[in-house]
Amino acid sequence: MSSAHRLEPSEEEARPQLTGTWSLMMGSAAVAAIGCPLLPESVPYQLRFLPVYFVLPLGVWAVASGIIALRRIGGDEGARRNRAKAGITLGAVATVTVVATLVRAYWALSRI
């Protein structure tokens, strides 16, 4: 960076740490989308079942972006890793839920 774009030390400390935020948001969205079919029947059909198709991609993206965020943080001892770890956890829960549901459906259909 050029000297014109460098921040003073006090400005760098005041800048918020947003590392892992995308991972947390995508993981939260994936887990929330799992519950969409449980909405009341008064909610339109498209709003209840369309988000289910995004659970797996959101979960995988949450895990991947959380791992990237943790690697970017590296050995920085003052960095907050909570958001990235929470995003990885939520993404993994969503991904495992989808895979377990698909395996159970395949197993149930193969027994017919």
In this structure, what DSSP letter does residue 54 have?
G
Q: In this predicted model, what pLDDT tens digit does every residue of 1-12 receive, in sequence order?
A: 555 566 555 555
Two tokens at 73? 């943080």
- Taking the C-alpha atoms of residue 83 and residue 64, their distance in angstroms, rounded to an integer, is 13
* pLDDT reported for residue 74: 79
* pLDDT reported for residue 19: 79
What's the whole-model pTM score?
Answer: 0.78
Q: In this predicted model, what pLDDT tens digit does every residue of 55-66 receive, in sequence order?
A: 999 999 999 999
Q: In this predicted model, what pLDDT tens digit does every residue of 39-84 receive, in sequence order?
A: 999 999 998 999 999 999 999 999 999 999 999 887 776 667 899 9
* pLDDT reported for residue 72: 87
Mean pLDDT calculated for residue range 94-105: 96
* pLDDT reported for residue 20: 87
48: exposed, middle or buried (Cβ count in 10 Å: 0-12, 13-18, 19+): middle
Residue 105 has pLDDT above 60, yes or no: yes
Dihedral Cα 97, 34, 84, 12, nearest 10 deg: 170
The H-or-E segment that residue 101 falls in is: helix 82-110
Mean pLDDT calculated for residue range 32-37: 93
